[in-house]
Homo-oligomer: A and B are copies of this chain.
Amino acid sequence: MASRAGTLVDMTTSATPRERLLNAAGELFYRDGLGIGVDALCKAAGVSKKSMYQLFRSKDEVIAESLASRGPAYQAALLPGPDDERSPRERILTVFERQDQLAAEGNFLGCPFVSAAVELKDPEHPGSVVARHFKQHLTDFFRAELVAAEAEDPETLAVQLTLVFDGASARAVIRAQALAGIGTVTAAALLDAAGVRQTVGAGQAGQGS
């Protein structure tokens, strides 16, 4: 092993083959689609095919694992941390603001989990299962915030927000007319309509209309 033994870990080139492969897979599958060949994948990762096939059973498993390994970072990039003490409404809208920023950067190709599920078609594929789990986590986050905000129907609204998230993602993929920040605006409209306002737990029973 070139790197694992030392007490210090070299950040640039020394990641274990598994990590290098998963990182390369996460990027290449996202950028070029799942159709990319294992030869190109291994070459980009600097890993031999033999190593890959003794770390993973198949390309499908690499797909699923690379998606799963991508989850935490993607979630950290979108969701506010527990230290963010703003109102639930603001914490929710942060997700959409960050997504809008990503989409504005140009190399955004939509939510990697939705893209993978679309390409896989088969909902039983391990990669599809991972994608479904990620979406569930996103919905869970929304629901928890909405419960904290004492929203009327947290479950429905949480799913609606997830739907908006995916819709904004789809618009980015298809590169429809710009209208910057449309995701955030739409999420805010739904929160407004449900009476979820800036303040938390103030016993505010007011309706949007």
Query: A residues touching B (Cβ–Cβ < 8 Å)?
Result: 31-33, 35, 109-111, 113-115, 117-119, 121, 123, 128, 131-132, 135-136, 139, 155-156, 159-160, 162-171, 173-177, 179, 182-183, 185-186, 189-190, 192-194, 208-209
Give chain B residues whose Cβ lies under 8 Å from the Cβ of A182.
156, 159-160, 163
In the complex, residue of chain B having the shortest beta-carbon distance to the beta carbon of A164: B167
How many copies of this chain sit in the oligomeric assembly? Answer: 2
Least CB distance, A78 to chain B, in whole angstroms: 16
Q: How far is the CA of A6 from the CA of B135 in the complex (A)?
A: 54
> What residues of chain B lie closer than 8 Å to A114, measured between beta carbons?
118, 170, 173-174
- Contact (A190, B189) CB under 8 Å given A164-B167, A170-B166: yes
Contacts of A190 in B (CB 8 A): 186, 189-190, 193
A118 touches B115 (CB 8 A): yes
In the complex, the chain B residue whose C-beta lies closest to that of A170 is B166
Q: A109-B121, A193-B208 are in contact. List 7 more A-B contacts (CB 8 A).
A: A117-B173, A132-B174, A135-B176, A136-B177, A159-B171, A164-B186, A166-B167
